[in-house]
């Protein structure tokens, strides 16, 4: 299961919205294959009856009361915006 095909590299790159040149696809295919080879080690263990751990802290119900706090002023909202149209963020058409 350690192999990763060229198509799979392109698929995950698309999922992650990373544009790859042809050279990069080849480079990453080899590196990702090596990494996957190494991490596939996890499948060696017998893990039947072992529950997953998503989080090292065993706590629950961390929440806040429904009480408003101040929002950001607009100059801070847009302080780092690459493109703005009035009080909207602007992007190329979706």
Partner 1 sequence: MTVDTLRLSAEEANGLLTRREASSDEIYRAYLDAIGERDPELHAFLYVCENDPGEGIPIAVKDVIGTRGIPTTAGSKILESYIPVYDSTVIANCRERGLRVIGKTNTDEFAMGSSTENSAFGPSHNPWDPSRVPGGSGGGSAAAVSAGLAPWALGSDTGGSIKQPAALCGHVGLRPTYGTVSRYGVVAFASSLDQVGPVARNVRDCAFLYSVISGRDENDSTTVDVPAVELPTAEDLKGLRIGVPKEMNGAAGIEGGVTAAVQSALELAESLGASVEECSLPRSVDYGVACYYLVAPAEASANLARYDGVRYGLRDDGADFREMVMKTRDAGLGDEPKRRIMIGAYALSAGYYDAYYGTAQKVRTVIKREHDALFERFDVLVSPTSPTVAFPIGAKIDDPVAMYMNDVLTIPSCMAGLPGLNIPCGLSEGLPVGLQLIGPQFGENTIFRAAHALEQAIGFDVVPERLR
Partner 2 sequence: MTTGVGSTEPEKSGGADLRGAGAGSWEPVIGLEIHVQLKTETKMFCRCRNGFGGEPNSQTCPVCLAFPGALPVPNRRAIEETIKLGLALDCTIAERAVFHRKNYFYPDNPKAYQISQYDEPLCARGHLDVPTEHGVTRIGITRAHLEEDAAKNVHVAASGRIHGATATLVDFNRCGTPLVEIVTEPDIHDAETAKRFLQLLRQTVVELELSDAELEHGSMRFDVNVSVRPAGSDELRTRTELKNMNSFSFAAKGIEREIARQIRIYEDGGVVEQETLHFDPAHEESPPLRSKEEAQDYRYFPEPDLVPVEPGKDLVDRLRATLQVLPGARITRIAETLSFYDADVLVTGGLDRLWTSLVDAGADPKEAANVLANQFVAAGIDPGTVDAGELAKLVSARAEIPRAAFDEALAKVGERGFSADPYLEQKVVADTAELDPIIQRIIDANPAQAEQYRSGKEGLLGFFVGRVMKETGGSADPRVVNERVRALL
Positions that interact with partner 1 (CB under 8 A): 1, 4, 8-9, 11-13, 15-20, 28, 31-32, 34-36, 38-45, 47, 50-57, 59, 62-64, 72, 76, 79-83, 89, 91-94
For 68, the 3-state DSSP assignment is coil
Name residue 84's beta-bridge partners: 89
Interface with partner 2, residue 88, by CB under 8 A: yes
List the structure tokens of 46. 């017998």
| Cβ atoms of residues 2 and 40 within 8 Å | yes
Interface with partner 2, residue 51, by CB under 8 A: no
Residue from the set 43, 63, 75, 82 that interacts with partner 2 by CB under 8 A? 63
Residue 49 φ/ψ, nearest 5 degrees = 75, 5
């Amino acid at each position: 299961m350690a192999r990763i095909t060229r198509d799979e590299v392109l698929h995950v790159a698309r999922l992650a919205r990373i544009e790859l040149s042809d050279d990069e696809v080849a480079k990453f295919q080899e590196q990702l294959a090596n990494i996957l080879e190494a991490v596939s080690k996890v499948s060696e263990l017998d893990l039947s009856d072992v529950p997953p751990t998503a989080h090292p802290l065993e706590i629950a119900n961390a929440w806040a009361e429904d009480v408003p706090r101040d929002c950001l002023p607009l100059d801070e909202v847009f302080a780092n915006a690459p493109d703005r149209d009035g009080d909207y963020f602007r992007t190329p058409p979706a």
